[in-house]
Amino acid sequence: MTSSNPASAARRNEAWRQAGRTLAAAAAVVALVGCEDKNTFVAPPPPKVDVATPVQRPVTRYIEATGNTAPIKSVDLVARVQGFLQSIDYQDGTFVKQGTQLFTIEPETYKLKVEQAQAAEVGAQATVKQAEADFKRQVELVQRQAVSQSTLDTSTSTRDNAQANLQQAQVNTRLAEVNYGYTRVTAPFDGIVSAHLVSVGELVGVSSPTQLASIVAMDPIWVNFTVNEQDVLRIRAEAARRGLTVADLKQLPVQVGLQTEAGYPHEGHLDYVSPTLNTSTGTLAVRGVIPNDKRALLPGYFVRVRVPFDQEKSALLVPDTALGSDQGGRYLLVVNGDNVVEQRKVQIGPVDNGLRVIESGLKPDDRVVIAGLLRVIPGQKIDPQTTKIEQPQASAK
């Protein structure tokens, strides 16, 4: 039986422990290599983004402004003769036709003056008749040399004076009739009469014409507004291109809408264009005339005004929400043939039925990002989802 050496046993145990540590390290390396294979980075797929080509359709170009309405006729009704107001012959604030009697001012006195003037005219006519007969007799007597020439001259003078007096009497009669007509104040045109400013029995027209009321014409009605210098140049350039004269421009339609109305339901035409610009404001005064038979427009309203002056047959439009802005101006995000997003600077025009007109910087076949602008950046590759731009319903005219 062989006895074990303690030193040899210790060396064997240390060798086994060293081998175990080596195997453990090798296993760790293998395990680590296996973990690295499983955690390899995989790029996410490109984001899905809605894109659409711009809408193409005819677009009318408008000059837009804010204006105010004004009556085409507005007159103060005054007492043109002196007397006591006898009657008020209308209801305050009512619509009256031209010639309707509104006030009566003590007509009896002026009627008597007419009769007095007529009587004087009749007397003057009789005097002329007598003087004419006497003149003819004197002419015959002078021809027979029965009277002197001086007698004929006197008769001629008497006849001429009588004719002059008759003319004066006729003028007095007409003046009396005119003043008698002034005792009845009538409507000079169709319109609405304001509340009366005097009462029955009040003395009017004493030292100066007394205002009795006012009358305002309501149909048609004027719309006054101004056009800035840039728009004036655009209109003149378009008129020159189309060979239009100033008279032709006055036939342009004018569309008007109240602040509470949708669209521009009231339509008329241009009536006046100022020949010069206001140098202090750089604007041109313009006026339109609008039919107002239903009296929807009252004088003094502030209104929205637009004047169509040109039409583009094939304009490009996109939703306003597709537009971005930075210090360089407005832009659209467009997807190129490699599905990479590009930033495209554009010039924008007016809004037409809910979509924004793009004046320049965009082509008909461009794919525009219309949703999810915050999820994409220029230079990024995307997965474009082709859709169609929804066109809002046309607004009321």
Contact 253, 225 (CB under 8 A): no
Contact 252, 273 (CB under 8 A): no
Residue 1 banded pLDDT, cuts 50, 70, 90: very low
**CA–CA gap between residue 297 and residue 300 (Å, rounded):** 9
CATH architecture of 62-71+219-311: Beta Barrel (2.40)
Flag whether pLDDT at 2 surpasses 50.
Answer: no
User: Percentage of residues in the chain with pLDDT exceeding 70?
Assistant: 87
Flag whether pLDDT at 396 surpasses 60.
Answer: no
| Token pair listed for 134 | 């006497």
Contact 180, 110 (CB under 8 A): yes
Choices 1.10.8, 3.40.50, 1.10.287, 1.20.1070: CATH for 108-182 = 1.10.287
pTM above 0.85, yes or no: no
**CA–CA gap between residue 106 and residue 100 (Å, rounded):** 18
Contact 220, 72 (CB under 8 A): yes
Kindly report the average pLDDT of the chain as a whole number.
85
- Tell me the H-state helices in 243-328: 246-249
Q: Count the Cβ atoms, other than its own, within 10 Å of residue 86.
A: 16
Residue 149 banded pLDDT, cuts 50, 70, 90: confident
CB burial string 143-177: b at 16+ within 10 A, e below: eeeebeeeebeebeebbeebbebbeebbebbeebe
**DSSP assignments along 166-201, one per residue:** HHHHHHHHHHHHHHHHHTEEE-SSSEEE---SS-TT
Flag whether pLDDT at 3 surpasses 60.
Answer: no
For domain 78-106+183-216, give the fold: OB fold (Dihydrolipoamide Acetyltransferase, E2P) (2.40.50)
pLDDT in tens, 23-50: 665 565 555 555 555 567 677 888 888 9
Q: What is the pLDDT of residue 255?
A: 94
**CA–CA gap between residue 181 and residue 65 (Å, rounded):** 46
Examine residue 350 and say whether the peptide bond preceding it is cis (omega within 30 degrees of 0).
Answer: no
**Higher local confidence (pLDDT), 292 or 39:** 292
pLDDT in tens, 246-286: 777 777 899 999 989 988 999 999 988 888 888 888 899 99
User: What is the pairing mode between strands 324-326 and 302-318?
Assistant: unpaired
Q: What is the pLDDT of residue 101?
A: 95
**CA–CA gap between residue 176 and residue 162 (Å, rounded):** 21
Provide the residue ranges of all domains of the chain, joining segments of one domain with +.
49-59+313-386, 62-71+219-311, 78-106+183-216, 108-182
For domain 49-59+313-386, give the fold: 2.40.420
